Amino acid sequence: MKPSLQFKMSQQLAMTPQLQQAIKLLQLSTLELQQEIQQALAENPLLELEQSDAEGEFSIPQETWEPSYSAGIGQASYHYDGEDQLYEGETGITLHDHLMWQLQLSPFTPTDALIAVAIIEAIDDSGYLTVPLSDIVAGLNEHHVEPIELDEAQVVLKRIQHFDPVGVGARNVAECLTLQLQHLAPDTPWRTEALRAVQEFIDLLATRDYRNLARKLRVNETELAAIVALIQDLNPRPGESFQAAPDNYVIPDVIVSKKNHRWVVELNPETVPKLKVNQYYLDLCHAVAQTDEVNYIRQHAQDAKWFIRSIESRNETLLKVASAIVQRQQAFFEHGEEAMKPMILADIAAAIEMHESTISRVTTQKYMHSPRGVFELKYFFSSQLATAAGDEASSTAIRALLKKFIAAENPRKPLSDSKLTELIAEQGIQVARRTIAKYREALNIPPSSQRKRLI
């Protein structure tokens, strides 16, 4: 074959730096976008913030809706019981620090203090001793001149178990609850029976086999209810108060409100600062002859313009997507979760004539403030199930029905998954029992056997 030249025409998408920048900004969260803007301001001398005429913080419109709730946002709460406490999880003090502080205030011999430190090091965040005492003693004897006996370690452990919080240093749940019951006043009603229940019949308590438990303790149902109530007031994880959950603050990207009987979507003006190109340098480009400095200014001016356009494009796309979501889910904003309609990314993509990948980027880590709470845009997408009428129901709506039925159930006779399936079917939604079980587990709701209560 002889070599030859051929012409071939084709189309392909070129990922220019400007397009890459627009895609990158589109998928950034509000916090990440703020960091990106700060970096751009630091690197580009022609990019600057516009000075706002109106000073003051942005306030989200206040609405009176009940119930108000949020999805996908961690919340931290603190209840003040009227007593000053030196150490709480919220202060940043860990359980280990709290125990070491008490150790320093306690009269220990040097050997006992060494044992106590080793024991405290082996206590996990829940307050349980995770290493057998024999292993702790063996480890200490490898480096200690005088041999340490197991009995010495047991005595030190008993002292640590009297530290605050009560129940710390326990080796299992039964011992933890026992320590807390022993800490109560001897004349506490049903204390003796509760001690026997946690020491001898912890398995029956765990499985809520109240019939056999009442028979073992030789009490009637009313008395057993009082015993179980006393046990339920105890804390099986005494160290959890020192596990400070991080406060997750969310700045909504869009705000939804009802105006003149219509749902309106607006961008939150506080999420993105107003940017502009420095006019002085722009004028300098036209007034000065072609030099390296002028070329430098022109290049950065072009970069600044592209950056501003990318942010504007991001905001326009975000507003389009949020408006399409609100338009499709108006019933949710009017009536709540049970009215949620099934919706997938393709539905919004078709409505605003964009690709599904773009919708996915826009709805990730973007939040909407509404009278019903703050929600990630992803929250409004859910799978669909068929109804008896031939329509479609959202999995979110089914979960809402499950929570509603379980919240209203008789605690003495909780609803089984089969019964929940029947109740959902009465609402005209055909769903399998295993699907109900899957949704229940996703909601962190235990099975009926574990939801049973005496009181």
| CATH number assigned to the domain comprising residue 388 | 1.10.10.60
Domain-embedded: residue 249: no
Q: Are residues 115 and 236 in the same domain?
A: yes
Q: Are residues 329 and 288 in the same domain?
A: yes
The answer to whether the pTM exceeds 0.75 is no
> What range defines the domain where residue 330 resides?
254-380
Domain-embedded: residue 2: no
The pLDDT, as a whole number, for residue 367 is 93
- pLDDT band of 53, cuts 50, 70, 90: very low
Lowest mean pLDDT among 79-88, 165-174, 228-237: 79-88
Asked if residue 287 has pLDDT above 80, the reply is: no
Domain-embedded: residue 260: yes
Q: Are residues 318 and 418 in the same domain?
A: no
Interatomic CA distance for residues 352 and 321, integer angstroms: 7
**CB contact at 8 A, 65 and 256:** no
Domain-embedded: residue 314: yes
Q: What is the 3 state secondary structure string of 392-419?
A: EEEHHHHHHHHHHHHHCCECCECCCHHH
Q: How far is Cα of residue 398 from the mean position of the Cα atoms in its chain?
A: 21
Last residue of a domain, one of 192, 220, 242: 242
Domain-embedded: residue 74: no
The pLDDT, as a whole number, for residue 391 is 57
* CA nearest neighbour of 229 among 207, 205, 203: 205
Domain-embedded: residue 302: yes
- pLDDT band of 82, cuts 50, 70, 90: very low
Last residue of a domain, one of 358, 380, 402: 380
Q: Are residues 150 and 287 in the same domain?
A: no
- For tokens 């393709």, name the residue: 346
Q: Are residues 367 and 395 in the same domain?
A: no
Mapping DSSP to helix (H, G, I), strand (E, B) and coil, where does residue 306 land? helix
Q: Are residues 171 and 159 in the same domain?
A: yes
Asked if residue 378 has pLDDT above 80, the reply is: yes
Q: Are residues 144 and 185 in the same domain?
A: yes
Structural domains of the chain, count: 3
Lowest mean pLDDT among 149-153, 247-251, 306-310: 247-251
The pLDDT, as a whole number, for residue 12 is 63
* CA nearest neighbour of 363 among 351, 353, 348: 348
Q: Are residues 113 and 162 in the same domain?
A: yes
pLDDT (tens digit, 9 = 90+) per residue, 351-362?
999 888 889 988
Q: Are residues 290 and 340 in the same domain?
A: yes
Residue 431's φ and ψ, nearest 5 degrees, are: -145, 145
Q: Are residues 139 and 227 in the same domain?
A: yes
Counting Cα atoms < 13 Å in the Cβ hemisphere of 127 gives: 27
Question: Who has greater pLDDT, 214 or 58?
Answer: 214
Domain-embedded: residue 363: yes
Asked if residue 65 has pLDDT above 70, the reply is: no
Q: Are residues 352 and 412 in the same domain?
A: no
Domain-embedded: residue 65: no
Last residue of a domain, one of 349, 380, 411: 380
Average pLDDT score over the chain: 82
What percentage of the chain exceeds 90 in pLDDT?
A: 33
Q: Are residues 373 and 406 in the same domain?
A: no
